[in-house]
Structure 1
Amino acid sequence: MTLTSPLPLPRPPLVRLGIAPPSPLPRMIDGAWWPRSRDLITELPTLIAALPLAWGQITVATVSGAMWSALPSRMFVANHVVRLSRTSSAHGPHTICLLAPGKGRWDLLVVPPETTAHEAGRLLAAEGRAA
C-alpha cells in the first residue's frame, strides 16, 4: 500500500497593509491598504481579518464611491454584519473609514490595485511609519 500526502490547502492571499504604530495623538490616516482588486466584497473580509485585535470588531466601513465596484448595504464578515456605505466626500478619493463601537475610528489610504508594486510598497511603508 502506498501512502500519498494530501495536497496542500491553498493559502489565503497575504494582506498588503501598512499600519502606523499606536499614538496618543489623533492622525488623519492610520495606515495604507493595497487591495488586489476593486471588488470590496472579496477584499474586505481579508482586510478585516488582518487588522490588529486592539481595533475591535469593525461594524461599519465607509468607502469612496469612485474606488469600488458593486457595494451592498451590508455584508457578513468574520461572523458579524458590517454595514457598508459609499461616500463621495471622504478624506480623499482613495480611503476607507473603519468604525468599531467603543474602540474607535481608523482611516486607511487605499492604494489602487493597479498601482505598481514599487509605488505601492513606498506608500505602504510611508503610511505604516506615520506618527
Structure 2
Amino acid sequence: MTATTFDKPAAEDRISPSSPPPLRLQLAPPGTSPALIDGAWWPRSRDLTAELPALTAVLDPLWGRITRVTVNPTFWPVIPRNIPVQGHVVKVGWFKAEQDPNKLLLLSYTAGRWDLLVIPPETDAVTAARLMTTATDPTRQLTASGLIQEAVLFGTADEAAAWDSARETVWDSEGGHDARHTSSHAEAAIGRVPIRAAGM
C-alpha cells in the first residue's frame, strides 16, 4: 500500500472534460496499519454510482478485487445495489446504526476489510488535505467521525483567529494602538498621584 494523493488542480480538470477527473485518495504508508482508518477518500459528489467505479478500480490492484462496499445512508441519498467495475460487479450495502456515517467500508476476497474516511465533497482543499494527512497517520486513534469533528474544530479556530486578526487590523487603522498607549500613560500618571492620608 502506498501513501498517494491522486489529485490535480481544478483548472486541469476543465482542460480535458472528456477524461474523468483524477481520484482524490490517500492511503496509509506501506507497512503500517492505522487502528481505525486505512486512508481517506474525497469524492466529488454523493453519487455512489458515479464515484465508486474509479475508487474500486484504483484499489483492486492494491488491495485485491473489491467485491463489496458498505456505507451509512446518512450522507448518501441513493444507494445502488450493484455497481459494475472493470469486468466485475461490486455489491453495495448499508448499515445505519452499525457504521460510522463518515466511513466507507470495502471488502476484498484476498485482503479482507479496509476502512476509508469519506471527506465530504463540499470540503475546502486545505481542510481536505489536513484530513487526508491526519487519516493516514498511523499514530492517530480517532474514528472517521472523530476526524471530521476535529477538522471542524480546527476550522472554527482558524476562522476565529482570522476574525480576531481582521478586527485588530480595523482597530489599529482607527487609532486603536495609539489610544491604548495614551490610556496606559494616563493610568500610569494616575497611579503616581499621591494619596492623602485620612484626616488631611
What secondary structure sits across from 1:108 in the alignment?
A: strand
What secondary structure sits across from 2:90 in the alignment?
A: strand
What secondary structure sits across from 1:85 in the alignment?
A: strand
Give yes or no for the alignment of 1:66 onto 2:74.
yes
Give yes or no for the alignment of 1:122 onto 2:130.
yes
Q: Corresponding residue for 1:54?
A: 62
| Structure 2 gap ranges (5+) | 1-15, 140-200
For the 8 Å contact 2:48–2:80, the answer to whether it is kept is no
* The 10-residue stretch of structure 1 (83-92 or 53-62) with the greater mean CA deviation from structure 2: 83-92
More helix by share: 2
Query: Deviation of residue 24 (structure 1)?
Result: 6.0
State the percentage of identical aligned residues: 45
For the 8 Å contact 2:26–2:41, the answer to whether it is kept is yes
What secondary structure sits across from 2:66 in the alignment?
A: coil
Alpha-carbon distance between aligned partners in 1 of 2:24 and 2:133, rounded to the nearest angstrom: 10
Alpha-carbon distance between aligned partners in 2 of 1:55 and 1:106, rounded to the nearest angstrom: 9
More strand by share: 1
Q: TM-score, normalised by structure 2?
A: 0.57
Larger Rg: 2
Query: Deviation of residue 9 (structure 1)?
Result: 7.5
What secondary structure sits across from 1:121 in the alignment?
A: helix
Query: Deviation of residue 91 (structure 1)?
Result: 4.6
Query: Deviation of residue 90 (structure 1)?
Result: 4.4
For CA contacts below 8 A with separation 6 or more, give which structure has more relative contact order: 1
Q: TM-score, normalised by structure 1?
A: 0.84
Q: 1:18 to 1:25 in 2, by over 3 A?
A: closer
**How many pairs does the alignment contain?**
124
Q: 1:101 to 1:52 in 2, by over 3 A?
A: closer
Query: Deviation of residue 110 (structure 1)?
Result: 0.2
Alpha-carbon deviations, 1:67-90, whole Å to 9, x = none? Answer: 212112112112101110011134
Give yes or no for the alignment of 1:94 onto 2:102.
yes
Supply the RMSD in Å over aligned alpha carbons: 2.0
* The 10-residue stretch of structure 1 (101-110 or 23-32) with the greater mean CA deviation from structure 2: 23-32
| Structure 1 gap ranges (5+) | 1-7
Query: Deviation of residue 52 (structure 1)?
Result: 6.1
